[in-house]
């Protein structure tokens, strides 16, 4: 066997790029605003390159990434007319490199504004930035006081050259939460302030769920991430988005019990004589615990099956006593733990995990398989 031996990996996470494109087009059709694509954290674990290129192909021209590292990578695979914003602030960032690569920083604090102005005065370039303000999440963003001060200083404001004002909603997935209106009103007030000096500034407030709060939250640019990837932006209602991800775990071994037996580490569960179990690829090293909950369920040949006993590092055991298939058939089959029947949104409901966490903790051992989208 040569060094080039590359075994087929058995963990396959299927990502439907066409569904991602359809989701973007659905959001686009629902609003007069432009629609960006948030592809930070490797497009929520699904592959920033594949997802970014698929979104570009259907017309997306604005992208948000969390760090400079991510943005530099994105610059390599996205065409030059794609605007790439970096959300994470300017700490430890070589601003000249950022500018040279045509990446746009979101200035998030008084510190960022200072760094940016220093850069602009030393480099003497006509670079643009985005400004992020805090309206009630108290994470990133200029405070109201700093922002108001800035808006009274025309020369500083013009030196920053901000073309986009954004803020981020803390409770958009709870449509009736008071915080949504509070944040909207603060954002409107700040937008009015900055527009007095810079009437051309564009505005963006809504993440995925924010889009569904209503048109008042839309402004010029929508910033969906989760909804593009099939996570329900309206958790109390039917999911308006197409599901994107399928995870099927192959059966590695089938066994029938000739006596009552304990199952798995710690002998925490047992099954009676005649029961049948399937040992399936995927364990806590693959993030299964966090992503699927401690007791994953799935679909096997059209029927529900449940994990029995503790999850191991690389495998878990399903009770398949009620499945009437031969061992040979089962050795060709997989347990679908995320898919049409077992969606991420179902997991959110039953295990109280966030769809975001489900996606981003799907381990690197899964091979991503892409169903192509439109080119």
Ligand X SMILES: *Cc1c(COP(=O)(O)O)cnc(C)c1O
Residues 6+ apart with CB under 8 A from 357: 290, 291
Q: Is 207 a residue that touches ligand X (CB under 6 A)?
A: yes
Q: Decide if 40 is catalytic.
A: yes
313 labelled binding-site residue: yes
Selection from 283, 337, 274 nearest residue 310 by Cα: 283
Supply the minimum distance, in Å, between the C-beta of residue 227 and ligand X: 6
Nearer to ligand X, 38 or 71 (CB): 38
Q: How far is the CB of 38 from ligand X (least distance, A)?
A: 4
Per-position DSSP letters for 226-270, written without gaps between them: GGGGT--SSTTS---SPP-EEEEEEEEEEEE-SS-EEESGGG-EE
Q: Which of residues 55-94 bind ligand X (CB under 6 A)?
A: 87
The residue among 38 and 277 lying less far from ligand X, judged by its C-beta, is 38
Query: Where does residue 251 rank: exposed (0-12), middle (13-18), buried (19+ CB within 10 A)?
Result: buried
The one catalytic residue in 118, 158, 189, 265 is 265
Minimum CB separation of residue 14 from ligand X in Å reads 21
How far apart CA 254 and CA 330 sit, in angstroms, is 7
Which residues in the 218-247 window bind ligand X by CB under 6 A? 223-227
CA pair distance 25, 186, nearest whole angstrom: 30
H helix or E strand, kind and range, residue 116:
helix 110-123
Q: How many residues bind ligand X (CB under 6 A)?
A: 11
Report, in Å, the least distance between residue 302 CB and ligand X: 32
Geometric angle at alpha carbon 80, from 84 and 108, rounded to 5°: 15
In the set 11, 40, 132, 342, the catalytic residue is 40
Q: Which residue is nearest to ligand X (CB)?
A: 225
Smaller CB distance to ligand X: residue 154 or 237?
237
Based on the residue annotation, tell me whether 215 is a catalytic residue of this protein.
no
180 contacts 171 by C-beta, under 8 angstroms = yes
Residues 6+ apart with CB under 8 A from 144: 133, 134, 186, 190
Interface pick for ligand X out of 17, 33, 35, 38 (rule CB under 6 A): 38
The answer to whether 51 and 42 are in contact (CB under 8 A) is no
Site for ligand X in 297-356 (CB under 6 A): none
Nearest to 306 by CA among 331, 337, 268: 337
- Minimal distance in Å, beta carbon 250 to ligand X? 30
Among 168, 218, 310, 351, binds ligand X (CB under 6 A): 168
Give me the least distance between CB of 31 and ligand X, in Å please: 14
297: CB partners within 8 A, 6+ apart = 304, 305, 306, 307, 337, 342
Residue 197 annotated as binding site: no
Stretch that binds ligand X, among 181-189, 217-225, 248-256, 296-304 (CB under 6 A): 217-225
Which of 62, 208, 232, 360: binder of ligand X (CB under 6 A)? 208
Toward ligand X, which CB reaches closer, 291 or 334? 291
Count of residues making up the chain: 375
CA–centroid distance for 370 within its chain: 16
Binding residues for substrate are 139, 313
Residues at the contact surface with ligand X, assessed by CB under 6 A: 38, 40, 87, 168, 207-208, 223-227
Q: Which residues are catalytic?
A: 40, 265
């Amino acid at each position: 066997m040569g060094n080039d031996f590359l075994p087929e990996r058995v963990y396959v996470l299927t990502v439907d790029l066409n569904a991602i494109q359809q989701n973007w087009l659905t959001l686009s059709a629902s609003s007069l605003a432009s629609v960006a694509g948030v592809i930070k954290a490797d497009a929520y674990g699904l592959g920033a390159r594949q997802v970014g290129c698929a979104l570009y192909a259907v017309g997306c021209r604005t992208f948000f990434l969390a760090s400079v590292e991510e943005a530099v990578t994105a610059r390599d695979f996205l065409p030059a007319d794609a605007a790439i914003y970096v959300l994470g602030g300017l700490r430890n960032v070589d601003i000249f490199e950022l500018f040279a690569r045509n990446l746009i920083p979101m200035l998030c604090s008084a510190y960022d504004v200072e760094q940016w102005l220093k850069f602009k005065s030393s480099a003497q370039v006509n670079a643009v930035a985005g400004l992020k303000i805090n309206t009630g999440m108290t994470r990133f963003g200029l405070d109201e006081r700093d922002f108001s001060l800035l808006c009274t200083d025309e020369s500083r404001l013009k030196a920053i050259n901000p073309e986009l004002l954004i803020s981020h909603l803390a409770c958009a997935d709870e449509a009736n939460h008071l915080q949504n209106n509070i944040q909207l009103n603060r954002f409107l007030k700040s937008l009015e302030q900055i527009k007095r000096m810079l009437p051309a500034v564009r505005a963006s407030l809504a993440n995925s769920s924010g889009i569904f709060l209503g048109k008042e939250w839309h402004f010029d640019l929508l910033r969906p991430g989760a909804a593009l990837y099939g996570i329900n932006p309206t958790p109390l209602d039917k999911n308006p988005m197409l599901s994107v991800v399928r995870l099927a775990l192959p059966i590695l071994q089938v066994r029938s019990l000739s006596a009552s037996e304990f199952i798995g580490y710690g002998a925490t569960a047992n099954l009676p004589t005649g029961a049948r179990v399937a040992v399936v690829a995927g364990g806590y090293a693959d993030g299964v615990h966090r992503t699927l909950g401690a007791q994953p369920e799935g679909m096997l040949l059209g029927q529900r099956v449940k994990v029995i006993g503790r999850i191991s590092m690389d495998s878990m055991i399903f009770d398949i006593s009620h499945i009437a298939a031969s061992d040979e058939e089962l050795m060709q089959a997989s347990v679908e733990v995320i898919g049409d029947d077992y969606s991420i949104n179902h997991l959110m409901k039953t295990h109280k995990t966030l769809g975001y966490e489900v996606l981003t903790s799907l381990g690197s051992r899964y091979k991503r398989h892409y169903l192509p989208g439109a080119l």
